[in-house]
Amino acid sequence: MPKRTDLRTILLIGSGPIVIGQACEFDYSGTQACKALKEEGYRVVLVNSNPATIMTDPEFADRTYVEPLTVEVLERIIAAERPDALLPTIGGQTGLNLSLDLAEAGVLEKYGVELIGAKVDAIKRAEDRDQFKAVIRSIGLDLPRSGIAHTMDDALRVKEEIGLPVILRPSRTLGGTGGSFAATDEEFETNVRWGLEASPISEILIEESIAGWKEFELEVMRDVNDNVVIVCSIENLDPMGAHTGDSITVAPAQTLTDKEYQVMRDASVAIIRAIGVDTGGSNIQFAVDPRTGRQTVIEMNPRVSRSSALASKATGFPIAKIAAKLAVGYTLDELRNDITRETPACFEPTIDYVVTKIPRFTFEKFPQASDVLGPQMKSVGEAMAIGRTMKESLQKAMRSLEIGSHGFEPRAAASTEELEGRIRVPNADRLWHLGEAFRRGMTVEHVAALSAIDPWFLRHIEEIIAEERALDGVPLAAISPERLRGLKQMGFSDVRLGVLLGTTETAVREKRAASGIAPVYKTVDTCGAEFEAFTPYLYSTYEPGGDEGLPTDRKKIVILGGGPNRIGQGIEFDYCCVHSVLALREDGFETIMVNCNPETVSTDYDTSDKLFFEPLTFEDALALIRRENPLGVIVQFGGQTPLRLAVALEKAGVPIIGTSPDSIDRAEDRERFEQVLTALDLKRPPNGVARSADEAVRVAESIGYPVLVRPSYVLGGRSMEIVYDRDSLARYMRNAVRASPEHPVLIDQFLEDAIEVDVDAVSDGTDVVIGGIMEHIERAGVHSGDSACSLPPYSIDAEVQGDIRRQTVALARELQVVGLMNVQFAVKDRVVYVLEVNPRASRTVPFVSKAIGVPLAKIAARCMVGTTLQAQGFTQEIVPTHINVKEAVFPFIKFPGVDTVLGPEMKSTGEVMGIDTSFGAAFAKAQIAAGTVLPTEGCVFISVPQAAYAAVVPIARRLAAVGFRLSATHGTAGHLRGEGLTVEAVNKVKQGSPHVVDMLKRGDVALVINTPSGLESFRDSFPIRRTALEGRVPYFTTIAAAAAAAAGIELMRQGPFTVLPLQEHYVRTRRS
Amino acid sequence: MAGKDAILALADGTVFRGRAFGAVGEASGELVFNTSMTGYQEILTDPSYEGQLVAMTYPEIGNTGVNREDVESRRPFVRGFIVREYRDMPSSWRAEQSLGAYLAEHGIPGIEGIDTRALVRHLRDNGSQEAVLSSVDLDPERLVRKAKDAPSMVGQDLVTKVTAAEPYGWDQGPWKPGGYLMAEEIAAALGRPTLKVVAYDYGIKYNILRNLVGVGCAVRVVPASTPAADVLKLNPDGVFLSNGPGDPDAVVGARENVAALLGKVPVFGICLGHQILGLALGGSTYKLKFGHHGGNQPVQDLTTGKVEITSQNHGFAVDMDSLKDKADVTHLNLNDRTVEGLSVRGQPTFSVQYHPEASPGPHDARYLFRRFVDLMERDKGN
Beta-carbon separation of A350 and B295 below 8 A: yes
pLDDT of residue A864: 98
Q: For residue A165, say if its preceding peptide bond is cis, omega within 30 degrees of 0.
A: yes
pLDDT of residue B156: 83
* Residue A345 near residue A335 (C-beta atoms within 8 A): yes
User: Which of A170-184, A247-261, A749-763, A970-984 comes out lowest in average pLDDT?
Assistant: A170-184
Q: Given a cut of 80, is residue A736 above it in pLDDT?
A: no
Beta-carbon separation of B57 and A252 below 8 A: no
Beta-carbon separation of B307 and A261 below 8 A: no
Query: Whole-angstrom Cα distance, residue A167 to residue A189?
Result: 12
Q: Given a cut of 80, is residue A792 above it in pLDDT?
A: yes
B15-22 vs B109-112, strand pairing mode = antiparallel
CA distance B245 to chain A (A): 21
Beta-carbon separation of A265 and B35 below 8 A: no
Residue A165 pLDDT class (50, 70, 90 cuts): confident
Give the whole-number percent of chain A exceeding pLDDT 70.
Answer: 98
- Each as own residue / partner, the long-range contacts of residues A795-799 (CB below 8 Å, 24 or more positions apart, any chain) are A795/A755, A795/A1040, A796/A755, A796/A757, A796/A827, A797/A830, A799/A830
**CB within 8 Å of A810: residues ≥ 6 apart:** A680, A682
Sequence-ordered alpha helix ranges (H) in A425-490: 430-439, 444-451, 455-470, 481-489
Taking CB atoms and an 8 Å cutoff, what residues of chain B touch A257?
38-39, 41, 64, 67, 70, 92, 94
Residue ranges with strand state E in A268-373: 280-288, 295-301, 354-360
Give the whole-number percent of chain A exceeding pLDDT 90.
Answer: 79
Taking CB atoms and an 8 Å cutoff, what residues of chain A touch B331?
none
**CB within 8 Å of A6: residues ≥ 6 apart:** A84
Mean pLDDT score, A39-54: 97
pLDDT in tens, A454-476: 999 999 999 999 999 999 999 99
Nearest to A1015 by CA among A945, A941, A940, A942: A945
Mean pLDDT score, A933-961: 93
Query: Whole-angstrom Cα distance, residue A333 to residue A331?
Result: 6
Q: Given a cut of 60, is residue A52 above it in pLDDT?
A: yes
pLDDT in tens, A587-613: 999 999 999 999 999 999 999 999 999
Q: Given a cut of 80, is residue A173 above it in pLDDT?
A: no
pLDDT of residue A1039: 87
Beta-carbon separation of B361 and A258 below 8 A: yes
The residue of A229, A297, A322, A352 whose CB has the most chain B CBs within 10 angstroms, and thus the best one to mutate to test that interface, is A352
**CB within 8 Å of A433: residues ≥ 6 apart:** A411, A413, A419, A422, A423
Find the helix or strand (DSSP H, E) in which A233 lies: strand A228-236
Dihedral in degrees, nearest 10, Cα atoms A314, A316, A317, A318: 100
CA distance A462 to chain B (A): 12
Q: Given a cut of 50, is residue A397 above it in pLDDT?
A: yes
Taking CB atoms and an 8 Å cutoff, what residues of chain A touch B306?
225-227
Closest in B92, B309, B363 to A347, CB measured? B309
A687-690 vs A745-749, strand pairing mode = antiparallel
Per-residue pLDDT of chain B (382 residues; tens, 9 = 90+): 447 999 999 999 999 999 999 999 999 999 999 999 999 999 999 999 999 999 999 999 999 999 999 999 999 999 999 999 999 999 999 999 999 999 999 999 999 999 999 999 999 999 889 999 999 999 999 999 999 999 887 788 899 999 999 999 999 999 999 899 999 999 899 988 899 999 999 999 999 999 999 999 999 999 999 999 999 999 999 999 999 998 999 999 999 999 999 999 999 999 999 999 999 999 999 988 778 988 999 999 999 999 999 999 998 899 999 998 999 999 999 999 999 999 999 999 999 999 999 999 999 999 999 999 999 999 988 7
pLDDT of residue B2: 47
Query: Whole-angstrom Cα distance, residue A746 to residue A712?
Result: 6
Nearest to A315 by CA among A598, A24, A600: A598
Closest in B118, B175, B294 to A259, CB measured? B175
Beta-carbon separation of A546 and B121 below 8 A: yes
Beta-carbon separation of B306 and A227 below 8 A: yes
CA distance B88 to chain A (A): 10
CA-nearest residue to B207 within chain A is: A259
| SS3 of residue B82 by DSSP | strand
Q: Given a cut of 50, is residue A143 above it in pLDDT?
A: yes
Query: Whole-angstrom Cα distance, residue A248 to residue A373?
Result: 12
Residues 210-269 of B with CB under 8 A from A: none
CA distance A364 to chain B (A): 36
Beta-carbon separation of A546 and B115 below 8 A: yes
pLDDT in tens, A192-239: 988 888 888 899 989 888 989 999 999 999 999 999 999 999 999 999
User: Which of A170-184, A243-257, A593-607 comes out lowest in average pLDDT?
Assistant: A170-184
Beta-carbon separation of A254 and B93 below 8 A: no
Taking CB atoms and an 8 Å cutoff, what residues of chain A touch B178?
293
Beta-carbon separation of B60 and A261 below 8 A: no
Secondary structure letter of residue A1057 according to DSSP: P
Residue A418 pLDDT class (50, 70, 90 cuts): very high
Q: Does B67 touch chain A (CB under 8 A)?
A: yes
Chain centroid offset of residue A42 CA:
30
Taking CB atoms and an 8 Å cutoff, what residues of chain B touch A259?
69-70, 175, 359
Beta-carbon separation of B94 and A349 below 8 A: no
Radius of gyration of the CA atoms of chain A, in A: 28
Q: For residue B360, say if its preceding peptide bond is cis, omega within 30 degrees of 0.
A: yes
CA distance B231 to chain A (A): 33
SS3 sequence of A146-214: EEEECCHHHHHHHHHHHCCCEEEEECCCHHHCCCEEECCHHHHHHHHHHHHHHCCCCCEEEEECCCCCE
* Residue A301 near residue A126 (C-beta atoms within 8 A): yes
pLDDT in tens, B8-35: 999 999 999 999 999 999 999 999 999 9
Sequence-ordered alpha helix ranges (H) in A660-692: 661-668, 670-680
Taking CB atoms and an 8 Å cutoff, what residues of chain A touch B91?
255, 454-456, 459
**CB within 8 Å of A568: residues ≥ 6 apart:** A640, A715, A716, A717, A718, A785, A906
Closest in A347, A389, A459 to B296, CB measured? A347
pLDDT in tens, A696-729: 999 999 999 889 888 876 545 556 788 888 888 8
pLDDT of residue A176: 58
CA-nearest residue to A269 within chain B is: B364
Dihedral in degrees, nearest 10, Cα atoms A74, A80, A85, A86: -20
pLDDT of residue B109: 98
Query: Whole-angstrom Cα distance, residue B5 to residue B24?
Result: 10
The residue of B17, B37, B180 whose CB has the most chain A CBs within 10 angstroms, and thus the best one to mutate to test that interface, is B37
Taking CB atoms and an 8 Å cutoff, what residues of chain A touch B120?
352, 528-530
Q: What is the number of alpha carbons within 13 Å of residue B17 lying toward its C-beta?
A: 11
Closest in B91, B118, B176 to A546, CB measured? B118
Residue A738 pLDDT class (50, 70, 90 cuts): low
Beta-carbon separation of B91 and A389 below 8 A: no
Taking CB atoms and an 8 Å cutoff, what residues of chain A touch B297?
347
Instruction: Tell me the pLDDT of chain A averaged across its residues.
Output: 93
Beta-carbon separation of A263 and B87 below 8 A: no
pLDDT of residue B1: 40
Give Cα separations from B208 to A984, B46, B72, B223, B358 (angstroms).
Answer: 82, 11, 9, 15, 8
Q: Given a cut of 60, is residue A648 above it in pLDDT?
A: yes
CA-nearest residue to B60 within chain A is: A389
Which are the catalytic amino acids of B? 271, 355, 357
Residues 161-180 of B with CB under 8 A from A: 175-178
**Hey, CA dihedral for A1062, A1064, A1065, A1066, is it positive or negative?**
positive
At position A968, the amino acid (one-letter code) is A
Q: Does B96 touch chain A (CB under 8 A)?
A: no
pLDDT of residue A1040: 85
Mean pLDDT score, A524-551: 94
Beta-carbon separation of B59 and A294 below 8 A: no
Q: Does B182 touch chain A (CB under 8 A)?
A: no
Beta-carbon separation of B298 and A333 below 8 A: yes
Closest in B33, B93, B359 to A290, CB measured? B93
**CB within 8 Å of A289: residues ≥ 6 apart:** A210, A213, A214, A295
Mean pLDDT score, A563-587: 96
pLDDT of residue A518: 97
Residue A780 pLDDT class (50, 70, 90 cuts): confident
pLDDT of residue A448: 98
| SS3 of residue A60 by DSSP | coil
Reported ipTM: the value is: 0.97
Query: Whole-angstrom Cα distance, residue A239 to residue A190?
Result: 25
Taking CB atoms and an 8 Å cutoff, what residues of chain A touch B175?
259
Q: Given a cut of 80, is residue A742 above it in pLDDT?
A: no
Crossing angle of helices A481-489 and A505-515, in 10° steps, is 120
The residue of B67, B288, B307, B338 whose CB has the most chain A CBs within 10 angstroms, and thus the best one to mutate to test that interface, is B307
Residues 1-30 of B with CB under 8 A from A: 1
Q: Given a cut of 70, is residue A1 above it in pLDDT?
A: no
**CB within 8 Å of A29: residues ≥ 6 apart:** A90, A304, A308, A309, A319, A320, A323
Residue A740 pLDDT class (50, 70, 90 cuts): low
Residues 336-355 of B with CB under 8 A from A: 336
Q: Does B37 touch chain A (CB under 8 A)?
A: yes
